[in-house]
Amino acid sequence: MTTTTLPSVPYRRPGLRGLRLLGRGPLFAISVAVLAALVLVAVLAPVLAPYDPEALDLSASLVGTTGDHLLGTDQSGRDILSRLLHGARTGLLGPLLVVAVSTLLGTLLGVVAAWRGGWADAVLSRSMDLVFAIPGLLLAILLVSVVGPGMTAPVIAMAVAYTPYVGRLVRGIARQEKARPYIEAYVVQGWSGRTVCLRHLLPNIAPTVFAQSAMNFGYALMDLAALSFLGFGVQPPTADWGAMINEGQGAVLQGAMLPALAPSACIVLAVVAFGIVGEGLADRIARREK
């Protein structure tokens, strides 16, 4: 069975391709600063949050912006700012696990397929194509129906769904890297395939994989937030941006926009920032290789 050589450009979803032009200059630096601030907020959430994010106060339901509640309160009287700060933890932890697992598995499968070739390449490539054909959200919903709602099932499902994206990318660039003269020189000298891959091939393809991982982080954040919004992910009263949008729908009908608008803005800001950083890194790598 013959296999087709895949292009070595990073996979990009059509919806964010336009960010490629933004991943340069000051916007790239601003996006990096935004991501650093998000990480800092997630780490320091217990210190920065003015209130307990799960504390109920029905007497303060849907209070607008005041000195005590800078972003107001939700229908249960919980401080929106405190929930946003704590929601950054679940909002970033889930995608981090998805990206870490999918990058590790995808890189392993891609390198093995590219290095071994033959039947190993054919089997691994067809297996990744099979998983690639299954929508990640559908896989997550099926797994949640078996395991139950929460963070575990969606993270596992999305990690499996994202693995083929990384695997196909790594396979393509690893095949090109394997064809370079320096790889053949190391093999002729008697170096084992494992040593050549670990010491030379992987470090050379790592920047491209890292750039794709940055973009995947934003996509995973959006997908997991969507699952929480639908009730399959993080469950109330735990603070989570996707779940907060779901809870804020009723408040919108009562004229209070912030309970749903604030977490929506956080998700958009994080996804756009990750997209700009990922596209910027990919463009810089491409220019360096020319």
**pLDDT of 22 higher than 60:** no
Average pLDDT rounded to a whole number, residues 134-144: 87
* DSSP one-letter code for 60: G
pTM of the model: 0.84
**Quick check: 48 and 41 in contact, CB under 8 A?**
yes
Give the pLDDT confidence score for residue 43 in this predicted structure.
94
Rounded to an integer, what is the distance from CA 166 to the centroid of its chain? Answer: 12
> What's the pLDDT tens digit per position in 160-178?
999 999 999 999 999 888 8
Q: Which residues contact 177 (CB under 8 A, 6 or more apart)?
A: 183, 201, 204, 205
**Quick check: 137 and 227 in contact, CB under 8 A?**
yes
Query: SS3 helix, strand, coil % of the chain, rounded to 5?
Result: 75, 0, 25
**pLDDT of 99 higher than 70:** yes
> What's the pLDDT tens digit per position in 38-81?
999 999 999 999 999 988 888 888 888 888 888 988 888 899 99
* DSSP one-letter code for 73: B
Give the pLDDT confidence score for residue 24 in this predicted structure.
55
Other CB atoms within 10 Å distance of the CB of residue 274: 28
**Quick check: 136 and 77 in contact, CB under 8 A?**
no
